[in-house]
Structure 1
Amino acid sequence: MSATFSAAPPLAVFASLLTARRFAKAKSMLASLLTPNVLAVPFPELAAASLLRGAPPHAVAAFHDMLFRAYADAGAADRAAEALDLTVSRLGRLDPRSLTSSLLSLRRAGQLAAADDLLRRALASCPESVSPLSASVVVDGLCKAGRVADARHLLDEMPRHGVKPNALCYNSLLDTYKRQKDGNQVAEVLRIMENEGIEATVGTFTIMVDALSAANDIDKVEALIDEMKAKNVPGDVYFYTAVINAYCRAGKARKASEVFDECVGNGIEPNEHTYGALINGFCKIGQVEAAEMLLADMQGRGVGHNKIIFNTVIDGYCRKGMVDSALNIKAVMEKTGIELDIYTYNTIACGLCRVNRMDEAKTLLHIMIEKGVAPNYVSYTTLISIHCKQGDMVEARRLFREMAGKGAKPSVVTYNVMMDGYIKKGSIREAERFRKEMEKKGFVPDVYTYASLVHGHCVNGKVDVALKLFEEMKQRGTKPNVVAYTALISGLAKEGRSEAAFQLYDDDMLKAGLTPDESVYSALVGSLHTDNKQNDSLPQTK
Structure 2
Amino acid sequence: MSFHNVLRTLKTVKVRTQVPFQEFCELISAIPSPSAAPKPLNPTTISLLSKLNPNSLHLILSEPTLSASKCLVFFNFLLKNQSFISFKLDLQAHLTLICRLIRARKITLAEHVFKSISVDQNSRYPFRAIASCVEVCCLEPVVEAKLFNLMLKVYSDIKNFDGGLEAFDYIKSIGIRIDERTYNFFSVAMNRAGEVEKGIDFLYRLLYSGTGVSVYCLTAVVEGMCRNGEITRSRELVQEMAGRGIKPNIITFNIMVEACAKRWNFSELDLILPLMEKEGLAFDVKTYEFLIDGFTSSGKLEEAERLVGEMHDKGLKVKTHVYNLIINSYCRKGFLEGALSLFSKMAERSIFQNADTYWFLINGICKVGEMGLAMQYVNEMQNKGFELDNLDCNILADGFRSKGMANELFELQALMEKKSSKANGFKQKKNGYDLTRKQPAVHNN
Give the TM-score, by structure 1 length.
0.48
- Give a deviation string over 1:365-403, Cα, whole Å, max 9, x none: xxxxxxxxxxxxxxxxxxxxxxxxxxxxxxxxxxxxxxx
Please tell me the root mean square deviation across aligned C-alpha atoms, in Å.
Answer: 4.3
Quickly say closer, same or farther: Cα 1:332–1:30, change in 2 above 3 A: farther
User: Is the CA contact (8 Å cut-off) linking 2:94 and 2:114 kept in structure 1?
Assistant: no
Secondary structure at 2:426's aligned position in 1? helix
**Structure 1 residue 131, shift from structure 2 partner:** 2.7
User: Is the CA contact (8 Å cut-off) linking 1:249 and 1:281 kept in structure 2?
Assistant: no
Aligned counterpart in structure 2 of residue 74 of structure 1, from 158, 170, 193: 158
User: Is the CA contact (8 Å cut-off) linking 1:72 and 1:102 kept in structure 2?
Assistant: yes
Aligned to 1:319: 398
Structure 1 unmatched ranges of 5 or more: 299-308, 334-343, 349-542
Quickly say closer, same or farther: Cα 1:94–1:235, change in 2 above 3 A: farther
Quickly say closer, same or farther: Cα 1:71–1:221, change in 2 above 3 A: same
Aligned to 1:109: 193
Aligned counterpart in structure 2 of residue 47 of structure 1, from 110, 122, 131: 131
Quickly say closer, same or farther: Cα 1:290–1:96, change in 2 above 3 A: farther
**Structure 1 residue 118, shift from structure 2 partner:** 2.4
Q: Distance in 1 between matches of 2:163 and 2:383?
A: 53
Q: What amino acid is aligned across from residue 140 of structure 2 in structure 1?
A: A
Is 1:248 matched up with 2:328? yes
Quickly say closer, same or farther: Cα 1:103–1:7, change in 2 above 3 A: same
Quickly say closer, same or farther: Cα 1:53–1:190, change in 2 above 3 A: same
Is 1:196 matched up with 2:249? no
**Structure 1 residue 18, shift from structure 2 partner:** 0.2
Q: Distance in 2 between matches of 1:16 and 1:291?
A: 71
Aligned to 2:103: 19
User: Is the CA contact (8 Å cut-off) linking 1:142 and 1:150 kept in structure 2?
Assistant: yes
User: How do 1:330-349 residues align onto structure 2 when only pairs under 5 Å count?
Assistant: 347=426
Aligned to 1:144: 227
Q: Distance in 2 between matches of 1:116 and 1:16?
A: 35
User: How do 1:229-244 residues align onto structure 2 when only pairs under 5 Å count?
Assistant: 229-232=312-315, 234-235=316-317, 240-244=320-324
Aligned counterpart in structure 2 of residue 156 of structure 1, from 232, 239, 247: 239
Aligned to 2:270: 187
User: Is the CA contact (8 Å cut-off) linking 2:241 and 2:247 kept in structure 1?
Assistant: yes
Q: Distance in 1 between matches of 2:123 and 2:417?
A: 58
User: Is the CA contact (8 Å cut-off) linking 1:282 and 1:290 kept in structure 2?
Assistant: no
- Give a deviation string over 1:237-261, Cα, whole Å, max 9, x none: 5xx5233312332342674587599
The sequence identity of aligned pairs, in percent, is 20
Quickly say closer, same or farther: Cα 1:176–1:109, change in 2 above 3 A: closer
Comparing 13-22 and 105-114, the one that deviates more: 105-114
Is 1:61 matched up with 2:145? yes
Q: What amino acid is aligned across from residue 206 of structure 2 in structure 1?
A: A
Secondary structure at 1:154's aligned position in 2? helix
User: Is the CA contact (8 Å cut-off) linking 1:248 and 1:256 kept in structure 2?
Assistant: no
**Structure 1 residue 76, shift from structure 2 partner:** 0.7
Q: Distance in 2 between matches of 1:184 and 1:264?
A: 32
Q: What amino acid is aligned across from residue 295 of structure 2 in structure 1?
A: L
Q: Distance in 1 between matches of 2:397 and 2:418?
A: 11
Q: Distance in 2 between matches of 1:17 and 1:107?
A: 30
* Higher RCO by CA contacts (8 Å cutoff, separation 6 or greater): 2
**Structure 1 residue 39, shift from structure 2 partner:** 8.8
Structure 2 unmatched ranges of 5 or more: 1-88, 331-335, 367-373, 402-408, 428-445
User: Is the CA contact (8 Å cut-off) linking 2:260 and 2:268 kept in structure 1?
Assistant: yes
Length, aligned pairs only: 313
Aligned counterpart in structure 1 of residue 253 of structure 2, from 170, 179, 183: 170
**Structure 1 residue 36, shift from structure 2 partner:** 4.1
Q: Distance in 1 between matches of 2:317 and 2:94?
A: 51
- Give a deviation string over 1:122-163, Cα, whole Å, max 9, x none: 2332453x3323222221221221222332332233124421
**Structure 1 residue 74, shift from structure 2 partner:** 0.9
Give the TM-score, by structure 2 length.
0.57
Quickly say closer, same or farther: Cα 1:109–1:219, change in 2 above 3 A: closer
User: Is the CA contact (8 Å cut-off) linking 1:81 and 1:118 kept in structure 2?
Assistant: yes
Q: Distance in 1 between matches of 2:417 and 2:95?
A: 63
Q: Distance in 1 between matches of 2:418 and 2:94?
A: 60
